[in-house]
Structure 1
Amino acid sequence: MQRTKAYDSLGCTNLLESLVEKTNDFLYGLWCNKHINQKQYEKLKVSKEQAELAHLYFLPKAHKPNTPLRPIMAGMKSPTINISKWLDNLLRPIFDRLAIDTTVLNGVELLKEIERWSANNLTMTTSFVTMDVTDLYTMIPQEGGVTAIKRLIEASGQKQIDGVKKEIILALTRFVMTNNYFYFDGIYYKQIRGGAMGSPLTLTIANAYMYFVERPIAKWASRTASLYFRYIDDLFIMSNIHADVLKGLVRFWNRLDINIELSESIGTSAEYLDVKLENRGGQLVSDVFHKPSHEPYFLPFSSIHAEHIKKNIPFVAITRAMRYCSSYEAFKHEEIHICMALLLNKYPMDFILKQIERVFQTFQCEIPTKGNFSNIRKIFLGITHNKTKRTEIDIEVTILCHFSFCKGMQDFSTQFHQMWNTCFTDTAICGMKPILGSKRLHNLQDYLVKKKPDRSRLGLENK
């Protein structure tokens, strides 16, 4: 907290009440002046009874030397959270469209682009460059983040979004950025630099800020026929430019913005996202990357979680291995690693083999062998499962029923619907539709680990 100088101590003063009033007064003024409509005002205003101040906790980065900590701002009930979510929904699609050529969403998407580029450009001297931005979320100047959103909207050519003028969106963005208050270890703080890691809008602001910082890098990559992509604060380059020149370029890029510090790795191999890459004498080799802190741990088979969750674990792992591994030998090695980890977590061998078989049945292809591996892998890379749009819930005809899932309840959902139809077919509620959901049982961790401070520290006292 002291190194980034992003936080200002407020001592023992809880400013939640004044922040709630300030937020509601600000929104009320926008509504009165017809800058936002009634529906938007009702959606964004703060409930004094439900509001809580955010609290800070840290997650250790076990895979990095000296185990640095990642600050997480838990503010799901903070006064500005509704504004943050709403702005993020408005602005993220604009960024996604604008940066579609220089951003990747996952390792599969990256690997497709790498293999496409390598088909015509890979040589024995091709280098990989990976760069990481140090403390991105807390190093962005708050006004610089607002300016990045302004440039983002201007680049999109839109003067209004969802009926709200650009100037109002910027005012709301500035309000969220400059009103991050939180509690930590007996002291209240205000964030005076960057955005709260945990606030939805912060990711879009960071992406927008980096988009304009990276423009010279992206243009250089285009001019030199190099490949460039970014995933939030991680940058990736494949280039045939000499490694010594690349080192000089990274030093130059480090001077593009005083707030952005890049730490780089340049060589004939790279680990980026969860993909391991190597230029082996002019041949691209890829594999699944496991961080040094990786442990052979999955959800134990003895867990009371529903069986479909346990089935999906080997399914997803084998699917990823098929996509990432460029050779049959690498795939079989990763498959053994997956099976061993599952066995250590008490998964029966016949269960594991059945799920592996289900993978290839789902993709409608043969079991891979050394002879057909390349062709089958193309099938896996060619098929992407798009997320289906969530079905809108009509609260007029829907009843949400939550239950604690415990052992022996694998068929409970089916039985519940059968009993529902039997009991209520000829009743007044026959048109109602029950939707079942499961909730997690309390476990030992809930009692031994408590990240959230007492409500009295975060909320308003009842008067």
Structure 2
Amino acid sequence: MAKKQAEEYLAVLKKRLYIKRLPTSYNILDHSIDNIERMVQKMIAQFKYDLILLEISTNEHIARSHTNMIAYEKKKLTDSAGDQNPLPKSLVSILNAISTRQSNIIKRAELITKHKVSFFDEAPVKPSHIRLSTPIIEVTPFSSFNCIEFLANGPPFIPICQSHFSNVPIDIRIVKERETLVNSFKNGLHVNCVSASDQRANEFFAAIKDLFYQSYTKPLSPELFARARYEQKMIETIKHIRNKHNIIIQRSDKSKVFHLASAISYHDKSVAYMAKTQAYQEIENGINPCKDYFDRILALLKPLLKNKAINLNIWKQSMHPTIETIELPHLYFIPKPHKIGTPLRPIISMIRSPAKGISHFLDLVLRPIFQQATRQTSFINDIHFIRRLELYRNLGLLTPKTNFITFDVTDLYTMIPRNRALVALEQFLKRHAINGRINGMTIDTLIKLSVTVLETNSFVFEGKYYKQIRGGAMGSPFTMTLANISHNELYGRYIDDVFMTSNLSLDKINFMLDVVNNQDENIRITRSIGLNAQFLDVSVYNNQGQLKTTVFHKPSAAPYILPFLFDHPRHIHRSIIKAALLRAVRLCSHVQDFNQERLRIEITLLLNDYPPKFIAYHFKTFFQQNNVALLLEQLDDAIYQGFHQKQISLPTQHERERQQGQPTNSDRTKQSPNQTEQRREQWNSKEIRVHYIYSSGPMSEFKQRLKQLWKNHYVHPGSPLNNVALKIGTRSNKSLQHILVKNKPLKSMLIDINTTNT
């Protein structure tokens, strides 16, 4: 009975979490301090979160203990019969009576629990009780609780039914959407040698047009319309406050929450950053250099392409800049509120830069070579990091005195001098060239292209034009120095973060790092040394020579997962649950830590409006599909270790791409254009991929109805498309990030292409 009471308490508590109505006993925390500021509120909310985690964990432990106790007592009864086979009738009668009684108790308890949980179904949601995922506000005018609560949905949140409030006429939207979809179908039909202009195709395309009209014109339900109208009203209110008070709304670095601050604050910090790094120089004549850069790039590319000095198997026509589409890049900053003083990180948007194509081409050429050369000293992701750690342990190299060292390079991309970067690149290319060439191209050609990318890196910022005059390193002796001091130890880098192990004393480790830190005045590292460390999303512990790893949660991080109300198909939310559990299995080395992370995931899902039944079903499915259904009941570490090792050994996406035979850089060089096209056709002939913009309401049925249209027109006896799979994907409407964040300057600043001599 105690087990069912614990399970009943669990069900009620989870339901309370889902509807944001905590027990009234928690309310005292809201009034424990007078004049509570936002930081203290977050501390209280965090305490509530931890308290909920503790209560759920405790009651799950009680339920689990009683399950084990009942099984143990039944086993004792069975064992009392000794070797008697079959069991005595009297014992069988007792066991049957116990089972019947137990079944009746369970049924009654489940009915009571269901009744108590249903009590909350009609209760209004009170989000003020607990909400850790709140925007970081460093400006005063945002006093509206509703606006703050809406911003708490985060930058990825997509407001529902946007098309019903669009200023674009419905006919124009339908024509555009239909044209995109029909063109995808025409391409797929053409690849499979099926006519895209016969009667069958015309009828199919006409049916698609009708389907769009039916989906776009069907009225929303009253509930959905009310919610959509409310969200649009919140957006307009927030925009009004933003514009009236000159506020910057920006996504936070390394988190999924908004940051709000005054434009003056952003200006002061950005100017201070530019002065500190000395990486940017204002173009004093105030004229856009975009056209000059365009002419310079064409002057470089034309002879190289004409003489086939560039590998045409890698170079694509889309990489060639066109005067109609180029724009000067623009600079903006994103805040880092997890650091003292909320410093800013610079981002240069180069999506339409004149040199974007060359930059992409160099990335395709150099990245595979660099990854191959640094495969022993680079971490692909946190899973790869865990693998390397466990291998280090399995080799017997982890001792009770092994220290973990982590550090990052301050402002890596803007602090390394450009000349040194080019020298390092040239040395790297010479080491890895075959007969003086990389993929059939001379080192001189690649250096010329690299210089052009670096020297045409100008941008717009706050109505002025700037050039970047330093930064952009592609390699550094710094890395080699660190690799040399880590002999027989684990050493690896992820972008500008480094992890290494050492069995030396702390004094010797610090001395060596000081030597490295003083090698170059442009290189400054921030270090951490000890038996515990945090690297990527992993917490690493050396417990007397025993390795322990868990998921690392930044203190400033909110328990955010894409809200259930997010305007996306349900399979997205199913995938989120599966991905979160898989990540927990891979990163947690012990079953108890995994169980705690599983609880964190469940609470976070509840706080982001995932229904308890939806969570329970997909949690159960996850464990059943992985053949570990009893893991949560028993918390058996032996079962978990097998599960963990199996999941950690599965290839990452990068490794799967290589295993699936996607051509490497050298493979592409050997392929002729015909071979490349033939390989593409062979791949495409197996399936036809199309996409449409998903939205809640009538469009939620669009996928099923489109599949039925396809079957009606193209799936029949003798059809050449019977064995071709139709893959229907979705594109999303604009997120709050796109709607509320203003990074891009006026278009006139980006495309003014007067000729200059900068």
Task: Name the TM-score, length of structure 2 as normaliser.
Answer: 0.55
Give the structure 1 partner of residue 442 of structure 2: 165
2:511 pairs with one of 225, 228, 248 = 248
1:98-177 aligned within 5 A: 98-119=373-394, 120-158=396-434, 159-177=436-454
The share of aligned pairs that are identical, in percent, is 34
118-127 or 69-78, which moves further after superposition? 118-127
Native 8 Å contact 2:290 2:753 kept in 1: no
1:214 pairs with one of 473, 479, 484 = 479
Native 8 Å contact 1:49 1:460 kept in 2: no
What amino acid is the match of 1:157? A
Native 8 Å contact 1:363 1:379 kept in 2: no
Pair 1:135–1:361, CA change in 2 (3 A): same
How far residue 22 of structure 1 moved from its aligned partner, in angstroms, is 1.3
6-15 or 340-349, which moves further after superposition? 6-15
Question: 2 CA distance for matches of 1:392 and 1:300?
Answer: 37
Give the structure 2 partner of residue 405 of structure 1: 694
- Residues 1:9 and 2:282 are matched in the alignment: yes
1:95 pairs with one of 370, 375, 379 = 370
How far residue 434 of structure 1 moved from its aligned partner, in angstroms, is 6.8
1:5-404 aligned within 5 A: 5-11=278-284, 12-36=286-310, 40=315, 42-119=317-394, 120-158=396-434, 159-195=436-472, 205-206=473-474, 209-210=475-476, 212-222=477-487, 225-368=488-631, 369-371=635-637, 372-386=639-653, 387-388=656-657, 392=680, 401-404=690-693
What amino acid is the match of 2:707? H
Q: Secondary structure at the match of 2:283?
A: strand
Pair 1:93–1:379, CA change in 2 (3 A): same
251-260 or 41-50, which moves further after superposition? 41-50
380-389 or 266-275, which moves further after superposition? 380-389
272-281 or 78-87, which moves further after superposition? 272-281
Pair 1:410–1:360, CA change in 2 (3 A): farther
Native 8 Å contact 2:283 2:466 kept in 1: yes
Pair 1:149–1:335, CA change in 2 (3 A): same
Question: 1 CA distance for matches of 2:357 and 2:307?
Answer: 20
> How many pairs were matched up?
446
Native 8 Å contact 1:269 1:277 kept in 2: yes
- Residues 1:456 and 2:748 are matched in the alignment: yes
Native 8 Å contact 1:133 1:260 kept in 2: yes
Question: 2 CA distance for matches of 1:113 and 1:313?
Answer: 26
What amino acid is the match of 1:62? P
Native 8 Å contact 2:280 2:470 kept in 1: yes
Question: 1 CA distance for matches of 2:590 and 2:317?
Answer: 56
What amino acid is the match of 1:459? I
Question: 1 CA distance for matches of 2:383 and 2:357?
Answer: 33
Question: 2 CA distance for matches of 1:412 and 1:80?
Answer: 40
Give the structure 1 partner of residue 66 of structure 2: none
Native 8 Å contact 1:143 1:174 kept in 2: no
Native 8 Å contact 1:404 1:440 kept in 2: yes
Question: 2 CA distance for matches of 1:361 and 1:88?
Answer: 42
Native 8 Å contact 1:52 1:459 kept in 2: yes
How far residue 239 of structure 1 moved from its aligned partner, in angstroms, is 1.4
5+ long unaligned stretches in structure 2? 1-273, 663-678
Give per-residue Cα distances to partners, 1:73-128, cap 9 Å, x unaligned: 11111000000000100000000111111111111111111122123122222111
What amino acid is the match of 2:278? K
253-262 or 354-363, which moves further after superposition? 354-363
Output the aligned Cα RMSD: 2.8
2:707 pairs with one of 407, 417, 422 = 417
How far residue 340 of structure 1 moved from its aligned partner, in angstroms, is 0.5
Higher helix share: 2
Question: 2 CA distance for matches of 1:278 and 1:433?
Answer: 48
What amino acid is the match of 2:445? I
Native 8 Å contact 2:537 2:551 kept in 1: yes
5+ long unaligned stretches in structure 1? 196-204
384-393 or 270-279, which moves further after superposition? 384-393
Name the larger-Rg structure: 2
Native 8 Å contact 2:280 2:469 kept in 1: yes
Task: Name the TM-score, length of structure 1 as normaliser.
Answer: 0.88
How far residue 326 of structure 1 moved from its aligned partner, in angstroms, is 1.9
Pair 1:375–1:447, CA change in 2 (3 A): closer
Higher strand share: 1
Native 8 Å contact 1:315 1:358 kept in 2: no
How far residue 161 of structure 1 moved from its aligned partner, in angstroms, is 2.9
Q: Secondary structure at the match of 1:334?
A: helix
Q: Secondary structure at the match of 2:277?
A: coil
Pair 1:362–1:173, CA change in 2 (3 A): farther
How far residue 41 of structure 1 moved from its aligned partner, in angstroms, is 8.1
316-325 or 37-46, which moves further after superposition? 37-46
Pair 1:364–1:174, CA change in 2 (3 A): farther
Give per-residue Cα distances to partners, 1:46-92, cap 9 Å, x unaligned: 10010001011111122222221111111111000000000100000
Q: Secondary structure at the match of 2:567?
A: coil
